[in-house]
Amino acid sequence: QVQLVESGGGLVQAGGSLRLSCAASERTFSGYVMGWFRQAPGKEREFVAAISWTVGTTNYADSVKGRFTISTDNVKNTVYLQMNSLTPEDTAVYFCAARTVFRTVYDYWGQGTQVTVSS
């Protein structure tokens, strides 16, 4: 089973940048889609970005398009989320997730990393 561990969260002022990392316990470059989600206090979890490790296709939520970039390093078995031009609305716990290409839901989840953007 896939184990995911996020890191890189922290406190940053508005307009700043952070880079989140998600380390996978096993090689997922074959037949997996990796995603980032976030959940703010009192709100439901929302999709942020996803990438296919097999074909490299990416997808972004409208709220982060143009500011966030998802990427992979297959040698390190790690997924990244580069976050630029952060605003207080980006404050949330960010989760890394994984699914196989034949599934429509994400089956594996990390514990999350807190991102706080001050104004």
Residue 94: the pLDDT is: 98
Strand, coil or helix: what is 78? Answer: strand
pLDDT at 98: 94
Contact 97, 81 (CB under 8 A): no
Count the Cβ atoms, other than its own, within 10 Å of residue 113.
22
Q: Is the pLDDT of residue 29 over 80?
A: no
pLDDT band at 86 (very low <50, low <70, confident <90, very high): very high
**CB distance 87 to 115 below 8 Å:** no
Nearest to 20 by CA among 61, 56, 72, 59: 72
* pLDDT tens digits along 38-85: 999 999 999 999 999 888 899 999 999 999 999 999 889 999 999 999
Strand order in the sheet with 18-24: 4-7, 18-24, 78-83, 68-73
